[in-house]
């Protein structure tokens, strides 16, 4: 019995040794047999990189040896890359000790995220039901979600700090915004959220009393309010002014400065493409433009009725007008602040702004007596401010005397200011959130 066991053990050991030798042979000698093909592929790639752009030639395909492990090797490389990316993202998150999620439920959220934060959204399709992005500013890690699928109660809430972006411009929008605030209020009461700020597209007459009850100073839960237009509530303590920005709801894009934008001669002194409201200063502007043929020096296209959406053709036409004009005329509408101001800045066309207060409750605040457009003025906007469109002919006469070099320098200054304006807003926004939310955490 012992002899049989001994023989069995000897047999198993011998079998193991044979298998080990067989495996070693394939590992070492098998790789050497494949290496010439692999090295020849590497040589071809290194020696003639231009050939890859046109595709491989037939002779190259015929001489290459098929590698059965190639797909596995590619998958392994992709897995390693993804793992490295996850480790990098994790390390970056660990370095940021403050996390904020932004819920974009108004089009102004896209101006904040894509223009001010220079963030990317995935997917890029603007009609997608759900879009999201991430950005790090200082020690704060921001995540952003937007789209029709972002509905109260239908997405997971796994953050402590939220910025809610809402539209409160008209009655129907106020109802929608109130539903969101009631939902968030419940999250705060059940301790699923700790801190909340709101960015609000306010009413153009600055009638925003409906949100007053939600502010923390009045017993609510909204610690910080960033509000568009010259609201008298602005105190730079818990209420701050925020810019209107470009018309993202009309798909106005993020514009990258180009050589031609800076250096080309622009064929038009000015432009105005917009709606002419009855009994408005826009009618006075049109009368001025028609005097002495001034309208022939400017790109002018007007309509009688406001249209909420642009066609691809009308948007392209409008962008071309901004690009081909030295000045963009910005008459007041319901409010002094308009999208056109920021859109002109995007193309280096200097805004000529009608600097008058409109009807309503907007005006000076406890921290500024420079309404309207207090935010833009406080940040040194290099615009041309006028009180009456009768000043326009003299401005255009001065434009005629300017050299191209002078205009180029002015464009550079405007584009530089606009970029600085957005960067400063991003930094200020982050500092305000950090100082308020983190301080309240300690308290």
Mean pLDDT of 318-347: 97
Q: Is residue 23 part of a domain?
A: no
User: How many Å apart are CA 52 and CA 62, to the nearest integer?
Assistant: 16
- The CATH number assigned to the domain holding 195 equals 3.40.50
| Alpha carbon of residue 283 to chain centroid | 35
What's the pLDDT tens digit per position in 78-92?
Answer: 655 555 555 555 555
**Same domain membership, residue 192 and residue 313:** no
Q: Is residue 46 part of a domain?
A: no
**Same domain membership, residue 191 and residue 131:** yes
Q: Is residue 378 part of a domain?
A: yes
Q: Of 242, 277, 302, which residue constitutes the final position of a domain?
A: 242
**Same domain membership, residue 275 and residue 227:** no
CB 185 within 8 A of CB 214: yes
What's the pLDDT tens digit per position in 37-62?
Answer: 333 333 333 333 333 333 333 333 33
The enclosing H or E element of 61 equals helix 58-63
Residue 122 DSSP one-character state = B
* pLDDT bracket for residue 277 (50, 70, 90): confident
CB 409 within 8 A of CB 374: no
Boundaries of domain holding 134: 98-242
User: How many Å apart are CA 66 and CA 310, to the nearest integer?
Assistant: 54
pTM over 0.85: no
Look-up of token digits 């910005």: 330
What's the pLDDT tens digit per position in 348-401?
Answer: 999 999 999 999 999 999 888 999 999 999 999 999 999 999 999 999 999 999
**Same domain membership, residue 233 and residue 264:** no
**Same domain membership, residue 275 and residue 223:** no
Please work out, in degrees rounded to the nearest 5, the angle formed at the alpha carbon of residue 439 by the alpha carbons of 436 and 442. 150
**Same domain membership, residue 292 and residue 233:** no
* 55 Rama class: left (phi>0) / alpha (psi -120 to 50) / beta: left
**Same domain membership, residue 189 and residue 147:** yes
365, 370, 398, 404: which is closest to 384 by C-alpha?
398
**Same domain membership, residue 233 and residue 267:** no
Look-up of token digits 């050589």: 259
Q: What is the pLDDT, as a whole number, of residue 52?
A: 35
Q: Which residues partner with 302 through β-bridges?
A: 274
Look-up of token digits 């790109």: 299
Q: Which residues partner with 354 through β-bridges?
A: 386
What's the pLDDT tens digit per position in 147-161?
Answer: 999 999 999 999 999
Residue 407: count of CB within 10 angstroms of its CB? 18
Look-up of token digits 């007053």: 212
Query: How many domains in the chain?
Result: 2
Q: What tokens does 246 get?
A: 């470009």
Q: Between these two residues, 306 and 203, which has the higher pLDDT value?
A: 203
Q: Is residue 33 part of a domain?
A: no
Residue 206: count of CB within 10 angstroms of its CB? 20
* Angle between helical axes of 339-346 and 312-323 (0-180°, round to 10): 60
Query: What are the two backbone dihedrals, phi and then psi, of residue 46, each rounded to the nearest 5 degrees?
Result: -75, -35
């Amino acid at each position: 019995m012992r002899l049989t066991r001994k023989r069995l053990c000897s047999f198993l050991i011998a079998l193991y040794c044979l298998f080990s030798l067989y495996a070693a042979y394939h590992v070492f000698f098998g790789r050497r047999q494949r290496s010439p093909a692999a090295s020849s592929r590497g040589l071809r790639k290194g020696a003639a990189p231009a050939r890859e752009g046109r595709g491989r030639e037939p002779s190259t395909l015929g001489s290459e040896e098929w590698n059965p492990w190639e797909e596995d090797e590619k998958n392994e490389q992709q897995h390693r890359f993804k793992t490295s990316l996850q480790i990098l993202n994790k390390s970056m998150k660990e370095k940021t000790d403050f996390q904020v999620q932004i819920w974009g439920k108004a089009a102004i959220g896209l101006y904040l995220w894509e223009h001010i934060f220079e963030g990317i959204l995935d997917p890029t399709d603007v009609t997608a039901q759900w879009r999201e992005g991430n950005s790090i500013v200082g020690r704060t890690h921001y995540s952003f979600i937007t789209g029709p699928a972002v509905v109260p109660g239908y997405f997971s809430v796994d953050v402590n700090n939220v910025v809610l972006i809402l539209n409160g411009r008209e009655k129907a929008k106020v109802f929608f915004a109130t539903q969101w605030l009631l939902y968030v209020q419940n999250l705060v009461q059940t301790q699923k959220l700790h801190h909340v700020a709101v960015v609000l597209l306010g009413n153009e007459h600055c009638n925003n009393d409906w949100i007053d009850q939600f502010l923390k100073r009045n017993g609510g839960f909204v610690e910080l309010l960033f509000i568009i237009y010259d609201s008298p509530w602005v105190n730079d303590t818990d209420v701050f002014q925020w810019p209107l920005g470009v018309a993202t709801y009309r798909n106005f894009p993020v514009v990258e400065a180009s050589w031609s934008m800076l250096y080309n001669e622009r064929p038009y002194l000015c432009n105005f493409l917009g709606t002419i409201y009855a009994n408005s200063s826009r009618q006075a502007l049109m009368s001025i433009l028609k005097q002495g043929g001034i309208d022939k020096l400017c790109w002018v296209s007007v309509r009688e009725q406001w249209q909420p959406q642009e066609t691809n053709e009308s948007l392209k036409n409008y962008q071309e007008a901004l690009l081909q004009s030295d000045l963009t005329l910005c008459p007041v509408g319901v409010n002094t602040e308009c999208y056109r101001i920021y859109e002109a800045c995007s193309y280096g066309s200097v805004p000529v702004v009608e600097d008058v207060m409109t009807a309503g409750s907007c005006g000076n605040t406890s921290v500024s007596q420079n309404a309207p457009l207090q935010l833009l003025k406080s940040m040194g906007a290099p615009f041309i401010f006028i009180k009456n469109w009768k000043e326009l002919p003299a401005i255009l006469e001065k434009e005629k005397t300017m050299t191209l070099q002078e205009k180029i320098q002015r464009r550079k200054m405007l584009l530089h200011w606009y970029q600085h304006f957005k960067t400063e807003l991003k930094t200020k926004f982050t500092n305000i959130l950090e100082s308020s939310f983190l301080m309240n955490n300690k308290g």
